[in-house]
Amino acid sequence: MTETLPRSAIEPKNPRLNVSRSANLPHVPGIRVGPYIFLSGMGPINPETGEREHGPIAEQIRTTLRNMQHMLESAGSSLGRVVRVHVVLADLADMPEMERVYREFFPIDPPARMAWSMELRFGNGCEIECVALAA
């Protein structure tokens, strides 16, 4: 048996993006274990107010991916180190808009991805989670 990988919770530098803490939900924003980072599903939270923003889907995707970038950078990683993404949309018809905005954030050598549609909480139009490598 190899030695146990160190495991620690990730905190966003912007505390307003620590949604699970402010909403008292039983999960952390992310966990680092050894060289891997596992982020919780993230929704469209305004980083200035900490409130959900339910505008056009393109804006919701952009906000969510910006927050994911912030979360990864808070942990010393970056979008370029993401290896796998799950994109969940409330409305399947939003796939093309999601794709258009998504590629702004992953222009080259994008991560593996699975995208689908299902019912989401809080009226969110999207929820995005990822696995990344630490720096």
Partner 1 sequence: MSARREVIVASPHARNAESSFARAVSTLVRGGDFLFVSGLAAVDPRSGERVRGTTASETRQILANLKQLLEAAGSSLDKVVKVNVLLHSMLEAPNMNEVYARFFPDPPPARTVCGARLPDDAKVVIECTALA
Binding site for partner 1 (CB under 8 A): 34-36, 80-81, 83-84, 92, 95, 99, 102-103, 106-107, 109-118, 131-135
Nearer to partner 1, 26 or 107 (CB): 107
Q: H-type helices in the chain, by residue range?
A: 19-22, 57-74, 95-105
Nearer to partner 1, 31 or 133 (CB): 133
Nearer to partner 1, 25 or 135 (CB): 135
How many residues in total does the chain contain? 135
Nearest-approach distance from CB 48 to partner 1, in angstroms: 28
Q: What b-and-e string marks burial along 103-116, b requiring 16 or more CB atoms within 10 Å of the CB?
A: eebeeeeeeeeebe
